[in-house]
Amino acid sequence: MGKQKSPFRLKSKFKPTGDQPKAIGKLLENLRKGVREQILLGVTGSGKTFSLANVIAQWGKPTLVMVHNKILAAQLYREFKEFFPDNAVEYFVSYYDYYRPEAYIPEKDLYIEKDAAINDILEKYRHSATKSVLERRDVIVVASVSAIYGLGRPENYIKLRLQLYRGMVISHGKLLKRLVEMGYERNDYALKRATFSVKGDAIEIIPSHSEEEIIRIEFWDDEIDRITRLSLLNREVIEENILHIVIWPATHYLAPRPTVKQALKEIEKDLIERVAQFKREGKEVEAQRLFQRTSHDIEMIRELGTCRGIENYSRYFDGRKPGEPPFTLLDYFPQDFLLIIDESHQTIPQIRAMYEGDRSRKLKLVEYGWRLPSALDNRPLKFGEFLKKLNTVIYVSATPGDWEIERVCSQGRV
Q: For residues 245, 248, 250 and 255, what is the CA-based torsion angle, rounded to 10 degrees?
A: 140
Asked if CATH classification 3.40.50.300 holds for the domain at 27-93+119-148+325-412, the reply, yes or no, is yes
State residue 264's pLDDT score: 97
State residue 1's pLDDT score: 40
Cα gap 129→94, rounded to integer Å: 13
* Domain locations in the chain as residue ranges: 27-93+119-148+325-412, 162-247, 257-317
pTM for this entry: 0.93
Contact 254, 305 (CB under 8 A): yes
Measure CA 188 to chain center. 29
How many CB atoms neighbour CB 44 within 10 A? 11
Report the chain (414 residues): mean pLDDT per 10 consecutive residues.
Answer: 79 89 94 94 75 97 97 96 98 93 94 92 97 98 97 94 97 95 91 93 96 95 96 94 96 90 97 98 98 97 88 94 97 97 95 92 96 96 96 93 84 68
Does the CA dihedral 117-289-365-309 come out positive or negative? Answer: negative
Q: What angle do CA 376, 315, 262 make, to 5 degrees?
A: 140
State residue 280's pLDDT score: 98
State residue 43's pLDDT score: 64
Cα gap 310→299, rounded to integer Å: 12
- The reply to whether 27-93+119-148+325-412 and 162-247 are identical in fold is no
Cα gap 127→206, rounded to integer Å: 13
Q: What angle do CA 60, 92, 123 make, to 5 degrees?
A: 135
CATH classification code of 162-247: 3.30.2060.10
181 Cβ contact partners less than 8 Å away, ≥ 6 residues apart: 160, 254, 257, 305
User: What length does the chain have?
Assistant: 414
Question: Which residue in 40, 67, 126, 52 sits closest to 351, CA to CA?
Answer: 67
Q: What is the pLDDT of residues 248-300, one digit of tens each?
A: 999 998 888 899 999 999 999 999 999 999 999 999 999 999 999 999 999 99
Burial class (CB in 10 A: 0-12, 13-18, 19+), 304: exposed
What SS3 string covers 31-83?
A: HHHCCCEEEEECCCHHHHHHHHHHHHHHHCCCEEEECCCHHHHHHHHHHHHHH
Cα gap 83→50, rounded to integer Å: 8
